[in-house]
Structure 1
């Protein structure tokens, strides 16, 4: 298995379904919400997630929120985090993973 991969399209909802569900996704997952999901794709810039309980949503945790000493979670890993943004242009729910939180 390669270190990086795009999400398997068979795991993703159809793009028109994601578009139609976007207002409900944003309403269901307001900023600050805590979510969990499974890593379905790894890229050098972050990981794509299928979010638990929100079947027509795609989450994305980008490395800009990852501390330098951490690594991306493995494909298939279950992760949790906080909703930090809704990217309207590509219908992604941006997530900061709990494992990436820097103790204050």
Structure 2
């Protein structure tokens, strides 16, 4: 699997079906832990621990100058900063970025 390939699990249908439960389980301000499952030029997607059908996105728009995107497979932590309803993404600001900015 390359850093740009999307994993099979969870499927987009599972993510959409569980979106209400995801938002309830991960309100803004919630601290999360997870694993980077996809890297894209605009950010990283994170499989969030303990919420199996939730996908987090830490994008470069929230990355301070001098910070970098974590590697594919890296364990990360952060905070929920927003829910993007139209594509069922949990927006995350990574803890390592707090130290930069």
- In structure 2, the partner of 1:55 is 52
- What is the count of residue pairs matched by the alignment? 101
State the 1:70 CA deviation.
1.0
State the 1:102 CA deviation.
4.5
Contact kept, 8 Å, 2:34 with 2:77, in 1: the verdict is yes
State the 1:20 CA deviation.
1.0
How far, CA to CA, are the matches of 2:51 and 2:10 in structure 1? 11
- In structure 2, the partner of 1:9 is 7
Call closer, same or farther: CA 1:55–1:46 in 2, change over 3 Å.
same
The answer to whether 1:33 aligns with 2:4 is no
Contact kept, 8 Å, 1:46 with 1:72, in 2: the verdict is yes
Q: TM-score, normalised by structure 1?
A: 0.89
Over 2 Å off, 4+ runs? 5-10
- When the two chains are superposed, the root-mean-square deviation of aligned CA atoms in Å is 1.7
State the 1:7 CA deviation.
4.1
